[in-house]
Structure 1
Amino acid sequence: MFLLDTNICIYLMKNTYPKLTERLFSHDTSDMAISAITVYELEYGVAKSKWGDKTRQNMQLFLAPFTIVPFDATDAMIAGQIRKYLEQEGNPIGPYDLQIASQAIARKMTVVTHNVDEFRRVPGIVLEDWVV
């Protein structure tokens, strides 16, 4: 099961990398999910957009076929443990990536991201970069 990171969703919505879109369509959407944290990040981008409603409609159409993974108490506990570890190592990551990583670990999902350098700091995470 794949968890699509925010940057991958943005690239897909903008068709930035045609090979990424091909890769997406080589999988069944039932094998992919999007974090509620990513939905938050996308909505924030939409709220700032000068095309607001049109962009929101496009975002909603994009999100429709995917399962949205809620951030729950187990995710929060895992995120707290990861944050402590990364801070001790002097190698923290951003809070949203931390939350997405904790969801993936809790559910044994592979994170699809182009932000591999950030996520690879998280022990036990499985990553794929479909852009390269």
Structure 2
Amino acid sequence: MRYLLDTDTCADVLRGRPDVVARLRKVLPDDVAVSTISVYELFTGVGKCARPERERSKVRLLLETIHELPFLAETARQATRVRVDLEARGCTIGPYDTLLAGHALAAGLILITPNLDEFSRVGGLRFESWRKP
């Protein structure tokens, strides 16, 4: 496994954003994962949309093609280190992004996200965007 897609990247895929979809198609299926944190966020979004049945179906289809990486105790410990470090430096990121950063670090994966400014605050995190500028 090589890449961890964040929730915004998954949303880009679900919306059919051409640049992100094209990049995903170039990657071997075994090289891509999604955190169970993003699974939670995606299904929360489904519950809030006007046509939840249709969107739920799209999310399920996406998740059938991408490995789901469980958020485990070691992942939680790494996310804790991320949060403590950020707070000590007086800069924070959103709580789910903290968890995703910790997950990518714990698993040794590159986080795929359009939120480059936010994740640039996390020391040691490898990240990139699949969106074209």
Please indicate the TM-score interval, normalised by the length of the shorter structure: over 0.9
Deviation per CA, 1:63-94: give whole Å up to 9, x if none: 10111011111111111111111011110111
- Residue type of the alignment partner of 2:99: Q
Segments of 4+ in structure 1 off by > 2 A?
Answer: none
Distance of 2:63 and 2:111 partners within structure 1: 17
Equivalent residue for 2:117?
Answer: 117
Asked if residue 54 in structure 1 is aligned to residue 54 in structure 2, the reply is yes
Distance of 1:21 and 1:100 partners within structure 2: 21
Q: How does 1:16-95 map to 2 (within 5 A)?
A: 16=17, 18-95=18-95
Give, in angstroms, the shift of residue 15 of structure 1.
Answer: 1.0
Match of 2:47, SS state, is helix
RMSD: 0.8
Equivalent residue for 1:4?
Answer: 5
TM-score between the two structures when normalised by the length of structure 1: 0.96
Distance of 2:80 and 2:117 partners within structure 1: 20
Distance of 1:23 and 1:79 partners within structure 2: 27
- Structure 1, gaps ≥5 residues long: none
Give, in angstroms, the shift of residue 47 of structure 1.
Answer: 0.3
TM-score between the two structures when normalised by the length of structure 2: 0.95
Q: Contact 2:114–2:129 at 8 Å: present in 1 too?
A: yes
Give, in angstroms, the shift of residue 54 of structure 1.
Answer: 1.3
Deviation per CA, 1:83-131: give whole Å up to 9, x if none: 1110111101111011111111011100011011111111100011110
Distance of 2:12 and 2:84 partners within structure 1: 31
- Residue type of the alignment partner of 2:89: E
Distance of 2:120 and 2:29 partners within structure 1: 25
Give, in angstroms, the shift of residue 33 of structure 1.
Answer: 0.1
Aligned length: 131
